């Protein structure tokens, strides 16, 4: 069930109505929210429900045991139960075949052919997201930063809450669980904010991202047939396709949660307006980048053990962050590029070089965007060989007029992209947070904006394309 589908619209109207009718009974309301979330998840494949239910039960138990156990060894044992169970599920479903294929390829170098070690495994949708979400609960309890809940329905709802179940944002228990455990109140201003953010999210996804996808997919589907300028144009458009696709999903998720009385943390903050890669990661997929910082980078030692260890921790964090996105060498290299540049920035910061360069802001914007753009090649390319071919072309002299194909498709893509960039530029210059945009809008203004966006969505809507981050 996609956010950009008629099925979800019907589903949400029903959930919204019944949910607020049950507002006088918090337990019934949460139980209804949990059942609705399971229905939403089962829409893809009901068999995957068993994994998320089992994972929820393990972490509910582990959290209680970590809190009640007095010895450090006992608390660590229950934390390991949570880590092994959740990362075990993730490793089997997402990474087993990748490591099996890599092992076979490595053994072939020495003349040993171990045969086909892969399994016919389907990746459960959203497993990367809810795994990190539930792990934050047990880790925070182990660190004595959060106390476990005694309400099992509230906890299961925290894990399965449908607006952010499939592709985030990755909400911490400290933020979302207390909201589930207390009575929600319908607030008109929050409703307005939610409606505006949902409409903008749908616009970003259907009008901008899906329009750009038509050209990007045609080029990257047969990348070996195209010259340097064509690949650069397709990569440039992909940078905005993935941004508007994923930020659009996050907008819909955050807006939907607001309509139900919840407030999520923001997940994007105009990341392409960044003067360094460090700043980029404070604005891009913020729930993941902060998760990696707090639970991986800091756990490895952060910057507390000397500069060399800091570089190592940055590289390991970004390599594992790349692997989190997908089980292929492309994603590992993508993470490695970001790790290397982040390490370089930290070194240059220590020499005060970057502080002087940042005064020339346009230089910082351009360099950061170019680094991100080059790394996107590995993220988008279908194979490692295709990525290498694209990189070689980009840094070659084979620059001629780019292949355009369907002129209407390209013109439409550039027009809607310009609309999106101008809107982001408006938010950036006015220092307006998208989450708060609809606060002071009158019903008439919301109706006008909503009508314009809905008309544009209907003009561009053709098929319900999956969100890019569903594959992770």
Answer yes or no: are the C-beta atoms of 244 and 403 closer than 8 Å.
Answer: no
Answer yes or no: are the C-beta atoms of 197 and 254 closer than 8 Å.
Answer: yes
Backbone φ and ψ of 437, nearest 5°: -60, -40
- CA–CA separation, 172 vs 135, rounded Å? 9
In the set 226, 285, 325, 338, the catalytic residue is 325
SS3 130: helix
To the query of whether residue 325 is one of the catalytic residues in this protein, the response is: yes
DSSP 127-183: HHHHHHHHHHHHHHHHTTSSPPPS-HHHHHHHHH-GGGTTT-----HHHHHHHHHS-
Q: Compute and round to an integer the Cα radius of gyration of the chain.
A: 23
- CA–CA separation, 268 vs 286, rounded Å? 6
Backbone φ and ψ of 254, nearest 5°: -65, -40
- CA–CA separation, 447 vs 136, rounded Å? 39
Per-residue CA distances from 419 to 5, 203, 205, 323, 456 (Å)? 23, 10, 13, 33, 12
Per-residue CA distances from 367 to 311, 316, 370 (Å)? 21, 23, 5
Answer yes or no: are the C-beta atoms of 205 and 248 closer than 8 Å.
Answer: yes
Answer yes or no: are the C-beta atoms of 66 and 75 closer than 8 Å.
Answer: yes
- CA–CA separation, 392 vs 120, rounded Å? 34
Provide the annotated active-site residues: 325
């Amino acid at each position: 069930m996609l956010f950009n589908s008629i099925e979800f619209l019907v589903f949400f109207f029903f959930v919204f109505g019944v949910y607020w009718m049950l507002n006088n009974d918090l337990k019934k309301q949460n139980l209804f929210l949990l059942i609705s979330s399971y229905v939403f998840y089962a829409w893809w494949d009901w068999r995957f429900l068993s994994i998320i239910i089992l994972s929820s039960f393990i972490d509910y138990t582990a959290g209680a045991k970590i809190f009640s156990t007095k010895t450090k060894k006992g608390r660590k044992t229950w934390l390991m139960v949570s880590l092994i169970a959740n990362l075990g599920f993730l490793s089997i479903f997402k990474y087993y075949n990748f490591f099996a294929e890599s092992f076979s390829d490595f053994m072939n170098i020495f003349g040993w052919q171990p045969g086909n070690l892969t399994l016919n495994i389907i990746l459960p949708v959203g497993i990367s997201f809810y795994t990190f979400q539930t792990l934050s609960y047990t880790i925070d309890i182990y660190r004595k930063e959060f106390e476990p809940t005694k309400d099992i329905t509230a906890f299961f709802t925290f894990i399965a809450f449908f607006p952010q179940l499939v592709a985030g944002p990755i909400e911490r228990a400290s933020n979302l669980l207390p909201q589930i455990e207390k009575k929600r109140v319908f607030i008109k201003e929050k409703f307005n904010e939610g409606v505006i953010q949902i409409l903008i999210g749908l616009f970003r996804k259907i009008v901008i991202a899906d329009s750009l996808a038509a050209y990007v997919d045609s080029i990257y589907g047969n990348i070996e047939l195209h010259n340097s300028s064509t690949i650069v144009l397709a990569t440039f458009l992909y940078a905005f396709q993935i941004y508007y696709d994923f930020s659009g999903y996050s907008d819909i998720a955050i807006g939907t949660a607001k309509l139900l009385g919840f407030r999520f943390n923001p997940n994007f903050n105009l990341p392409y307006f960044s003067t360094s890669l460090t700043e980029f990661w404070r604005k891009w997929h913020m729930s993941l980048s902060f998760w990696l910082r707090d639970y991986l980078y800091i756990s490895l030692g952060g910057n507390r053990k000397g500069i060399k260890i800091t570089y190592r921790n940055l590289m390991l964090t970004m390599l594992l962050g790349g692997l989190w996105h997908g089980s292929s060498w492309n994603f590992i290299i993508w993470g490695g590029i970001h790790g290397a540049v982040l390490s370089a920035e930290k070194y240059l910061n220590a020499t005060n070089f970057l502080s002087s360069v940042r005064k020339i802001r346009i230089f910082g914007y351009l360099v950061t965007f170019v680094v991100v753009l080059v790394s996107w090649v590995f993220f988008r390319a279908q194979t490692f060989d295709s990525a290498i071919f694209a990189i070689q072309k980009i840094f070659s002299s084979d620059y001629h007029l780019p292949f355009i194909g369907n002129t209407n498709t390209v013109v439409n893509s550039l027009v809607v992209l310009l609309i999106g960039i101008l809107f982001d530029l408006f938010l950036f210059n006015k220092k307006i947070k998208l989450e708060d945009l609809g606060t002071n809008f009158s019903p008439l203004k919301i109706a006008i904006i909503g009508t314009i966006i809905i008309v544009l969505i209907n003009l561009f809507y053709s098929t319900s394309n999956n969100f890019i981050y569903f594959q992770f």
